[in-house]
Structure 1
Amino acid sequence: MSVTATPRPTGHPGYSQTMRRAPESAEVAHKLARTALAAWGEEDLIEDAALVISELVSNAVDHARLESIRIVVTRPSEKLVGLGVVDRSRNVPYVRTDSDGDNTRGRGLLLVDALTDRWGTDRYRWGKQVRGELKCD
């Protein structure tokens, strides 16, 4: 699996990597996000970014259709860091607010919502990208 870095209008490269749709891919996604944020001098966002990307990967592992997902870490502007997971499922995730006793699964998007300045889903004909944005100081 190769990591791709592409130039962006902000002058910061974007990072992406295709990986298996497996729970252990969350750790690889952590490393990709940490590498990008360190390269951009945004070390103060690393912990939040690692949690967000982990939750997005976990969601894709549980709900995507094919065996691979793509992790994307971008810098859409000088003040934003973008974190996304692309998969081939067109099902849009939603924030669960219902209580299911002791079941702690299914609430990852609540964490994404709390840690990001905004998040959402970009739908494509062939799938979607679930993404979140963190503001830089």
Structure 2
Amino acid sequence: MAQSAASARRLVRTALAAWDLEDQIDDATVIITELVSNAVDHGRHTSIRVLLSRPAEGRVRLGVVDRSKDLPVLRTDSHGDQLRGRGLVLVDALAERWGTELHRWGKQVWGELRCESARPGSTHPEVADHGSG
């Protein structure tokens, strides 16, 4: 998981810097780390796919695709010293919105950040990275 998350964070930092959105890097790297962690822990395959896109002006979408159709669960309860299982609480707090898209072969879990582009009209095509889980 550590290697996959590190690769995903590098991809996010590179894409956001290219899009002149450095002010979003901190939140985006936390979001992608949590999404990658969930995909590695719960996916049914040895690889995942990390996606970054600009679906609209003023938005960045970070997504992770895995082979599992199990929906993520936002856990807000606290059971003693349980340290795992609350990554989506961070995603929910940092992302303007997040969700899941089911596919016949698995799912994509994504989070979106609202941002102001330093270069108006700088919507770029999707950037993808294949990492191992």
TM tier relative to shorter chain: 0.7 to 0.9
The one of 101, 124, 132 aligned to 2:80: 101
Distance 2:30 2:92 in 1: 11
* Deviation readout 1:47-94 (Å, 9 max, x if unpaired): 000000000000011100010000001110111000000011000101
Residue aligning to 2:111: 132
Per residue, is there more strand in 1 or in 2? 1
Asked whether 1:55 is paired with 2:31, we answer: no
1:36 aligns with 2:52: no
Structure 1: stretches of 5+ with no match in the other structure = 1-21
Is the CA contact 1:70–1:86 (under 8 Å) kept in the aligned structure 2? yes
Match of 2:45 in 1: 66
- Following TM superposition, where does structure 1 have runs of at least 4 consecutive aligned residues deviating by more than 3 angstroms? none
Q: Which residue number corresponds to residue 81 of structure 1?
A: 60
Cα RMSD for the two superposed structures: 0.7
Q: Within 5 A, what are the aligned runs for 1:10-29?
A: 22-29=1-8
TM-score normalised to the size of structure 2? 0.85
Structure 2 unaligned residues grouped into runs of 5+? 117-133
Aligned length: 116
In 1, Cα distance between equivalents of 2:77 and 2:92: 15
State how far apart, in whole Å, the 1-side matches of 2:35 and 2:53 are: 15
Corresponding position: 1:115 with 2:91: no
- The residue type paired with residue 58 of structure 2 is K
Contact 1:23-1:61 at 8 Å conserved across structures: no
Q: For residues 57 and 90 of structure 1, what CA distance do their matches in structure 2 show?
A: 15
Measured in 1, the distance between the counterparts of 2:52 and 2:31 equals: 11
Structure 1 residue 100, shift from structure 2 partner: 1.6
Identity %: 62
Higher relative contact order (CA 8 A, sep 6+): 2
